Structure 1
Amino acid sequence: MSPRTDHRPPTVTDPARVIRDNLWMHFTQQGDCSTDKVPVIVRGEGAYVYDDQGRRYLDGLAGLFAVQVGHGREELAAAAAEQTRQLAYFPLWGYATPPALALAERLAAAAPGDINRVFFTVSGGESVETAWKLIRQYFKLTGKPTKHKVISRAMAYHGTSMGALSITGIPGAKADFEPLVPSTQRVPNTNFYRATEHADDYEAYGRWAADRIEEAILFEGPETVAAVFLEPVQNTGGCFVPPPGYFQRVREICNRHDVLLVSDEVICAFGRLGYAFGADKYGYQPDIITTAKGLTSGYAPLGAVLASDKIFEPFNKGATFMHGSTYGGHPVSCAVAMANLDLIESEGIYQHVRDNEAAFRTTLERLYDLPIVGEVRGAGFFWAVELVKDRETKEKFTDADAHRILKGHVSEALFEAGLHCRADDRAEPVIQLAPPLICGQQQFDEMEQALRHALAGAVKLI
């Protein structure tokens, strides 16, 4: 190949051949993938993306829960270009750069309570991995070296690196990579729709679920448990919202047993729930917050671990956190993040989400006239529709039927309707919707109509 002399985006004359012979896609059954049906997305504008055939899709998943301010924002492209011209790259290993300094200060100011220290990463999984390593060293430095275990919730996703995957609570995501890092334990999540305890009392159910965390701490031994990792709204399983008082009780339990509370906000931060952080929405104080995705609206890879003064104190006395990465705090990514946060602020994105949350929910609840729809649940711009075989009894689909309905019909029907979202059967079958935060009623209606078309067809398959 001759060197390219222009700056246009690269193109490929035969995408199907490259998909067949070269590209290894993420989380994809590549061998079963019909290469001529893989969309090649070439551009985005607002809430929509376009493929190389000119088809338009409503991006009902914000890429992958990331594109808060929408596609094609020239402000973010300009920020990246300007920073690249001035300083394209330099590491944070004993040095600092103006974008990293500015972003660290801004995140510390936005974070709740005494969370004032920012350690940059490249992704959400790396943020979780970093947080666990940080926690382990913190307890060694404070004279409690046996505190190293982590508690997380059933079906919760926290990343794919070996440590983060060990914290992840999805059995099917872990089996091929065993043995993983030991010392992780699972507790029930907050799926009230499937509650077997206190099924008639939401708050009592929340107390019960939180108390299972204390039960696990006591079973393992408080002298061995270091942290609890929780998403404000749990993603996998379909947007499990915390019952009232749940996080306050978890905070009390953590305080009682000297266990750190990590709020995994890789999805929930930067407006997905209508606030800078999900901890703000639900009124609790974490010790550490893990972030990524919406920090740059997906325009550049960047994550961050936000830690409290308490966590930083022993490191401030001379200890070194022997951890880092080549691109953590990349100056171009930090510049993009600053421009992204500027847009979020100037356009009132957080308030927009709060103002439109009820309308989004109400629009999706129209789908209750379809017998396959069991529950609509979520918060902010983060919603799930759980599918059931019988709504009156909440009867579940068999694994085979769930796969047949979701993969064999619903996913294809949504694609044909021009809606990008997630049909997920890792727990009960759900369809997840998390569009760019700039969306409004027009896009809510489009999502509902595409779902209605797909699910009406699925009803005939039951």
Structure 2
Amino acid sequence: MTTADKPRTATPTAETAARHLWTHFDRLGNDRPVPVITRGEGAYIYDDQDRRILDGLSGLFVVQTGHGRRELAEVSARQAETLGFFPVWGYATPPAAELAERLAHLAPGDLNRVFFTTGGGEAVESAWKLAKQYYKLTGKPAKHKVISRAIAYHGTPQGALAITGVPKMKRDFEPLTPGGFRAANTNAYRNPQFDGDPEAFGRWAADRIEEAILFEGPDTVAAVFLEPVQNSGGCLTPPPGYFERVREICDRHDVLLVSDEVICAFGRHGTTFACDKFGYVPDIITCAKGMTSGYSPIGAMIASDRVVEPFLAPKVSFPHGYTFGGHPVAAAVALANLDLMERERLNERVLQREQAFGDTLRKLLDLPIVGDVRGDGYFWAVELVKDKQTRETFNAEERERLVRGFLPGALLDNGLYCRPDDRGDVVVQLAPPLTCGQAEFDEIEQILRQTFVEATSLI
């Protein structure tokens, strides 16, 4: 009997969820009980049957400092007692002002102005709107388009979805906001002609962005949106020299470079902002997720002085905002979370341990179903293939059986929460809390190995 054949019992909470809870990115007609997570402690979560499960995805690339951090809950309670809510619509609160100053000091270059949202998709939406208005204010009103990369995910709001490069995520919601266009991504595994010459691959991939700008017309392109390490498609890392060249291209054509760090910021790659690690200064940063380690929802758009300058003119405003953007409780929790990360030196720990994490996952390359292991920091992907020699991937029926039928339940039953994904080719993504070490790396590898061996019988 494989893991997929083991019976699962629905608890009363799971039955209630099946009747009333609309789970996100999910099929409501699933015949399996809805998994119910009841508590978390450190790097582990527990379900309603009290099974202990390693959180190999930090919730959703969020819980940097681990679960059950009492000090973050206590900060939240104290702030709620003092001031539970007030908007930043022409007003400030002490936590929002202090957090804005903190982020400005942590951001590279002259990115000194912080616009708060409640999540990452809203931050991306805000950045596109900012770019459009910036060029209207600077006398270039035709510049409104965005270049992003194939298979890249940037959010679910209509504008952010238009920037997203995953066609099947957009079909049901079209027509979308016009103006989103795509260039090649940095998937080295699927570009074997550059094997052994990563610098040439970096130049080629960056030049595809310039090609897209020139094709659309530089006078119509406002921004290029790039993740430091691309999530969708499976942790696509930048080749050497890639971002340096992209920065030159954007400057040459007067296009804003937006570093979408909703996943990559706050220690995921060992620096507060991943653009620092990869050696470039963007015009705008979008971030969210790890800012509070998930203990309260918040996001932000951080803009450079150059981008903000035309908004400082008399009678100019940015007519955009969110009710809960810069929420005082969320801002207070973010400040406490940043303090905690500094106190425990989590950025340094990631830099010290990232090689060991990658080396541990690469042990899986001895399995015939594992084609590639790639990533950076505490953000890795294992690509699964049908044929290791040819790098052949799976057909639609096999993906259905593997990615949606077998892997999610089998991994959880074997004691690991992570993310099987086939928005590009088939990958399993890992992004554990930044507090994890070799013991957790070994546990992740062992559970993946067991599950992949079982999965081999399905293809």
Band the TM-score falls in, shorter-chain normalisation: over 0.9
Q: Percent identity?
A: 64
Determine the C-alpha separation between the residues in 1 that align with 2:409 and 2:390.
28
Determine the C-alpha separation between the residues in 2 that align with 1:284 and 1:390.
37
The equivalences for 1:25-44 within 5 A come to 25-34=23-32, 37-44=33-40
Question: Which position in structure 2 is the counterpart of 1:420?
Answer: 417
Determine the C-alpha separation between the residues in 1 that align with 2:51 and 2:30.
23
Determine the C-alpha separation between the residues in 2 that align with 1:117 and 1:100.
12
- Preserved CA contact (<8 Å) 2:15 2:34: no
Deviation (angstroms), 1:33: 4.2
The equivalences for 1:51-450 within 5 A come to 51-195=47-191, 197-318=193-314, 319-450=316-447
- Preserved CA contact (<8 Å) 1:409 1:454: no
Determine the C-alpha separation between the residues in 2 that align with 1:372 and 1:182.
40
One-letter code aligned to 2:27: Q
One-letter code aligned to 1:63: G
Determine the C-alpha separation between the residues in 2 that align with 1:323 and 1:412.
41
One-letter code aligned to 1:229: F
Determine the C-alpha separation between the residues in 1 that align with 2:295 and 2:430.
20
SS of match in other structure, 2:374: strand
Question: Mean alpha-carbon deviation: is it higher for 391-400 or for 182-191?
Answer: 391-400
SS of match in other structure, 2:40: strand
Question: Which position in structure 1 is the counterpart of 2:6?
Answer: none
Question: Which position in structure 2 is the counterpart of 1:9?
Answer: none
- Preserved CA contact (<8 Å) 1:413 1:453: no
Question: Which position in structure 1 is the counterpart of 2:454?
Answer: 457
One-letter code aligned to 1:282: F
Question: Which position in structure 2 is the counterpart of 1:24?
Answer: 22
Determine the C-alpha separation between the residues in 2 that align with 1:111 and 1:406.
37
SS of match in other structure, 1:163: helix
Deviation (angstroms), 1:409: 2.4
One-letter code aligned to 2:377: G
Deviation (angstroms), 1:200: 4.0
Deviation (angstroms), 1:291: 0.3
- Preserved CA contact (<8 Å) 2:14 2:35: no
SS of match in other structure, 2:29: helix
Determine the C-alpha separation between the residues in 1 that align with 2:13 and 2:78.
32
Structure 2 length-normalised TM: 0.96
Determine the C-alpha separation between the residues in 2 that align with 1:214 and 1:197.
21
User: What CA deviation, in whole Å up to 9, does each residue of 1:272-294 have, x standing for no partner?
Assistant: 01101110010001000000000
User: What CA deviation, in whole Å up to 9, does each residue of 1:5-42 have, x standing for no partner?
Assistant: xxxxxxxx9323322321111000111242xx222111
Deviation (angstroms), 1:198: 3.0
Change (3 A) 1:33 1:64: farther
Change (3 A) 1:16 1:42: closer
Determine the C-alpha separation between the residues in 1 that align with 2:91 and 2:300.
17
Determine the C-alpha separation between the residues in 2 that align with 1:434 and 1:16.
26
Determine the C-alpha separation between the residues in 1 that align with 2:274 and 2:452.
31
SS of match in other structure, 1:31: coil
Determine the C-alpha separation between the residues in 2 that align with 1:33 and 1:209.
43
Alignment RMSD (CA, Å): 1.2
Determine the C-alpha separation between the residues in 2 that align with 1:98 and 1:363.
44
SS of match in other structure, 1:227: strand
SS of match in other structure, 2:228: coil
Question: Which position in structure 1 is the counterpart of 2:4?
Answer: none
Determine the C-alpha separation between the residues in 2 that align with 1:176 and 1:33.
23
Determine the C-alpha separation between the residues in 2 that align with 1:417 and 1:265.
31
One-letter code aligned to 1:117: R
One-letter code aligned to 1:280: D
Deviation (angstroms), 1:460: 2.2
- Preserved CA contact (<8 Å) 1:403 1:425: no
Determine the C-alpha separation between the residues in 1 that align with 2:68 and 2:425.
35
One-letter code aligned to 1:43: R
Question: Which position in structure 2 is the counterpart of 1:5?
Answer: none
SS of match in other structure, 1:43: strand
- Preserved CA contact (<8 Å) 2:148 2:164: yes
Alignment: residue pair count: 449
Deviation (angstroms), 1:381: 0.2
Deviation (angstroms), 1:408: 2.7
Deviation (angstroms), 1:176: 0.2
One-letter code aligned to 1:401: E
User: What CA deviation, in whole Å up to 9, does each residue of 1:194-242 have, x standing for no partner?
Assistant: 0165344211011001001111111111000000000000000100000
Determine the C-alpha separation between the residues in 1 that align with 2:420 and 2:220.
38
- Preserved CA contact (<8 Å) 2:235 2:380: yes
Query: Runs ≥4 in structure 1, deviation > 4 angstroms?
Result: none
Determine the C-alpha separation between the residues in 1 that align with 2:194 and 2:345.
39
Determine the C-alpha separation between the residues in 2 that align with 1:406 and 1:256.
42
User: What CA deviation, in whole Å up to 9, does each residue of 1:377-436 have, x standing for no partner?
Assistant: 000000000001111111111121122122332222211111000001111110000000
